[in-house]
Chains A and B, each alone.
Chain A
Amino acid sequence: MIDWSVHLPALQVIVPMLSAPFALLLRPRGLAWAAAVAASLFAFAIAIMLTLGVLAGRNFVYQMGNWPAPYGIELGVDAFSALVLLVITGASSLALLAGRRSLNADIEEERQPLFYAAWLLALAGLVGIPVAADAFNIFVFMEISSLASYVLIAGGPDRRALPAVFKYLIMGTIGATFYLIGIGLIYLMTGTLNLADMELRIHEVADQKPILVAAGFVTIGLALKAAVFPLHVWLPNAYTYAPNAVTVFLAACATKVSLYLLLRFDFFVFQPNLVGHDVQFSYFLMPLAVLAILIASGVALFEQNIKRLLAYSSVAQIGYILLGASFVTITGLTASTVHLFNHALAKGTLFLAVGCLATQCTGLRLSDLGGVAKRMPWTAAAFVVAGFSLIGIPGTAGFVSKWYLITAALEQGSLGIALVAVLVISSLMAVVYIWRIVESIYFAEPCTDLSAVREAPPAMLVFTWLAVLANVYFGLVPEVPVALASSAAETLLEHLP
Chain B
Amino acid sequence: MELLGLYHYWVFAVLLMIGFYAVIAKSNLIKKLIGLSIFQSAVFLLYITMGKVDGGTAPILQAGVENPVFSNPLPQVLILTAIVVGISTTALGLGIVVRIKEEYGSIEEREIQEIDRR
Report the minimal beta-carbon distance from A279 to chain B, rounded to whole angstroms: 29
Contact call A147/B100, Cβ cutoff below 8 A: no
A140–B40 CA distance with the chains assembled, in angstroms: 14
A151 touches which of B43, B92, B104, B112 (Cβ 8 Å): B92
A170–B78 CA distance with the chains assembled, in angstroms: 22
Interface residue SS majority, chain B: helix
A141-162 Cβ-contact flags toward B at 8 Å (1 or 0) = 0010001001100100001101
Name the segment of A27-35, A174-182, A404-412, A462-470 touching the other chain. Answer: A174-182
Interface check B57, CB cutoff 8 A: no
Residues in B whose Cβ lies below 8 Å from that of A140: 81, 85
Report the minimal beta-carbon distance from B33 to chain A, rounded to whole angstroms: 8
Interface check B54, CB cutoff 8 A: no
Contact call B36/A173, Cβ cutoff below 8 A: yes
Residues in B whose Cβ lies below 8 Å from that of A139: 82, 85
Interface check A188, CB cutoff 8 A: yes
Contact call B92/A187, Cβ cutoff below 8 A: no
Interface residue SS majority, chain A: helix
A451-485 Cβ-contact flags toward B at 8 Å (1 or 0) = 00000000000000000000000000000000000
Residues in B whose Cβ lies below 8 Å from that of A177: 39-40, 43
B103 touches which of A150, A162, A181, A187 (Cβ 8 Å): A162
A166 touches which of B39, B88, B96 (Cβ 8 Å): B96
Contact call A166/B29, Cβ cutoff below 8 A: yes
B94-118 Cβ-contact flags toward A at 8 Å (1 or 0) = 0011011001100001001100100
A1–B36 CA distance with the chains assembled, in angstroms: 52
Interface check A364, CB cutoff 8 A: no
Contact call B89/A147, Cβ cutoff below 8 A: yes
The interface centre, meaning the residue of A165, A184, A187 with most chain B CB atoms within 10 A of its CB, is A184
Residues in B whose Cβ lies below 8 Å from that of A163: 100, 104, 109, 112-113, 116
Residues in B whose Cβ lies below 8 Å from that of A173: 36, 40, 89
Residues in A whose Cβ lies below 8 Å from that of B16: 181
Contact call A180/B36, Cβ cutoff below 8 A: no
A143–B88 CA distance with the chains assembled, in angstroms: 10
Contact call A169/B96, Cβ cutoff below 8 A: yes
Assign chain A's interface to a size class: 20 to 34
A188–B23 CA distance with the chains assembled, in angstroms: 27
Interface check B14, CB cutoff 8 A: no
A136–B112 CA distance with the chains assembled, in angstroms: 36
A187–B88 CA distance with the chains assembled, in angstroms: 24
Residues in B whose Cβ lies below 8 Å from that of A159: 103-104
Query: Assuming A147-B88, A169-B93, is B32 touching A184 (CB within 8 A)?
Result: no
Interface check B70, CB cutoff 8 A: no
Contact call A187/B89, Cβ cutoff below 8 A: no
Report the minimal beta-carbon distance from A383 to chain B, rounded to whole angstroms: 28
Interface check B53, CB cutoff 8 A: no
Contact call B46/A147, Cβ cutoff below 8 A: no
Report the minimal beta-carbon distance from A87 to chain B, rounded to whole angstroms: 25
Report the minimal beta-carbon distance from B106 to chain A, rounded to whole angstroms: 10
Residues in A whose Cβ lies below 8 Å from that of B92: 147, 150-151, 169
Contact call A154/B99, Cβ cutoff below 8 A: yes
Report the minimal beta-carbon distance from A237 to chain B, rounded to whole angstroms: 9
A176–B88 CA distance with the chains assembled, in angstroms: 14
Contact call B40/A150, Cβ cutoff below 8 A: no
B74-90 contacts to A, CB under 8 A, are 75, 78, 81-82, 85, 88-89
Contact call B43/A180, Cβ cutoff below 8 A: yes
Query: Assuming A166-B29, A188-B50, is B39 touching A174 (CB within 8 A)?
Result: yes
Contact call A166/B93, Cβ cutoff below 8 A: yes
A325–B74 CA distance with the chains assembled, in angstroms: 34
A188–B72 CA distance with the chains assembled, in angstroms: 11
Measuring CB to CB, which residues of chain B are less than 8 angstroms from any residue of chain A? Answer: 16, 20, 23, 29, 32, 36, 39-40, 43, 46-47, 50, 75, 78, 81-82, 85, 88-89, 92-93, 96-97, 99-100, 103-104, 109, 112-113, 116
| In the A-B complex, the 10 residue pairs with the closest CB atoms | A159-B103, A143-B85, A162-B100, A188-B50, A166-B96, A163-B112, A173-B89, A162-B99, A169-B93, A184-B47
16 contacts between A and B (CB under 8 A): A136-B78, A143-B89, A147-B85, A147-B88, A166-B93, A166-B100, A169-B96, A170-B36, A173-B36, A174-B36, A174-B39, A176-B85, A177-B39, A177-B40, A181-B16, A193-B78
